[in-house]
Structure 1
Amino acid sequence: MSECTKAEWRARLRAARLLIDDAGRHLAAAGLASAGLAWLREMSGGMPATTICAYVSGRAEPPTAPLLGALAGAGHTVLVPVCEPGHQLSWTPWTPGVAMARSALAPVQEPVGPRYRFAELGAVHGLILPALAIDAAGVRLGQGGGYYDRFLAAVGEGAVPTAGVVYEAEAVPAGELPHDVLDRRVQYILTPGGYRPAAE
């Protein structure tokens, strides 16, 4: 395991993301849209209309707006998270042009609309999650709020296919990221260049 702490990893990764120029972000956005659609097709067995939980990216994150648009344009129902007290998540529908507002609990933008508990969503065919880095064993380094680790623990391992989104340079060898028993792994690594399963 890396001798660097989570805080040190986060600082380094955030700084590197700020160096990516607009052209690089544009290419990444297009790649993620294509890779995300392909991943969902595999996870759903090619079903034409599914329910997918994803997220609205922040400024320095790999851009997900084209991915969300591509998913909705293909006929899928797209939901994104809303932060709730106690580091919990609820889910609200995302459609192109939906009104957005800054969260009262986290430095993120969230759609304005009805909020649902995950158990109320019915069959969900995939979860696309943010990450700062993911190792080849599926260890995910998040922003540090703990929202997604709590959510994944409640959902249960393997209940829904999970993919963490990172730039290719943020997909690192197994054992490189610090982690503990509370950290939940993802099953797939999704980058602008494609997707691949994390090793067991």
Structure 2
Amino acid sequence: MVTTPPPNPARPPQPSPKTLLRRELLAARRALSPESLRASARALARSALALPELAGAGTVAAYVSVGSEPGTRDLLDALRAAGKRVLLPVLLPDNDLDWAAYEGPGSLAETAHAGKMPLLEPSGPRLGPGAVTGADTVLLPGLAVDGRGMRLGRGGGSYDRVLARLERAGAHPALVVLLYDEEVVARVPEEPHDHPVQAVATPSGVVRFTDSA
């Protein structure tokens, strides 16, 4: 009697190249010691402040780092001390971003969002998602950037919306991503909606991408 072998079970979908690279980079961040995180944050602030895009900016859209992200708190305070207007994001339920002005460490409140780690967000008046279009420079979080200036984000989509909003408004602020030194890589996977940045600041210095638009 001829028997028919059972069908092969469906293979689970394979992670995309972006997903695999994100996992690798996030694991490396989680391995950093608290001392290394603090030292990197101080060095990152010094590097970023040397950027002409920040020196000449009146308004900077930035963000408050969380967990093992490259630390931004020193940089935020230095920008405010230099007389810059600093805008910080407020996460909306649909993952879009509203904005409010940074008025110092006491103006930040820990906010819980379903399915995400608590975020420190500005407690002042909300300025609307379109406020970012008035920024001279936008500091972007990320996980990596390559030699073309292509940035790999965390995959949540919030900053894809920000970049699309800037494009629709015809706004052209300088785009700068803040990373650790090892996160400047040879190449990151890209998709049609991805945007290049003008520069990356790391604890050891700045890399510029002259071909980025």
Decide: shared fold, TM above 0.5: yes
- Specify which of 92, 96, 106 is matched with residue 100 of structure 2: 92
Q: Measure the CA separation in 2 of the matches of 1:121 and 1:131.
A: 18
Report the counterpart of residue 31 of structure 2 in structure 1: 19
SS in 1 for 2:48: helix
SS in 2 for 1:97: helix
Q: TM-score, normalised by structure 1?
A: 0.86
Report the counterpart of residue 73 of structure 1 in structure 2: 81
User: Rg: which structure is higher?
Assistant: 2
Counterparts of 1:14-163 in structure 2 under 5 Å? 14-39=26-51, 42-43=52-53, 46-47=55-56, 50-94=58-102, 95-104=104-113, 106-107=116-117, 108-120=119-131, 123-156=134-167, 159-163=172-176
Give the drift of 1:99: 3.2
Q: TM-score, normalised by structure 2?
A: 0.81
Give the drift of 1:4: 6.3
Q: Deviations over 1:78-118 (max 9, x none)?
A: 11111123332111111232131224364333222211135
Report the counterpart of residue 6 of structure 1 in structure 2: 18
Q: Deviations over 1:114-133 (max 9, x none)?
A: 11135446742211110011
Aligned length: 192
Q: Measure the CA separation in 2 of the matches of 1:151 and 1:123.
A: 12
Report the counterpart of residue 188 of structure 2 in structure 1: 177
Q: Measure the CA separation in 1 of the matches of 2:149 and 2:76.
A: 23
Q: Identity of aligned pairs, percent? A: 35
Report the counterpart of residue 165 of structure 1 in structure 2: 178
Q: Measure the CA separation in 1 of the matches of 2:147 and 2:171.
A: 17
Give the drift of 1:196: 2.1
RMSD: 2.2
CA contact (8 A) 2:136 2:173 kept: yes
CA contact (8 A) 1:153 1:184 kept: no
CA contact (8 A) 1:127 1:163 kept: yes
Which residue type is aligned with residue 18 of structure 2? K
- Gap runs ≥5 in structure 1: none
Which residue type is aligned with residue 197 of structure 2? V
Question: Higher relative contact order at CA 8 Å, sep ≥6: structure 1 or structure 2?
Answer: 1
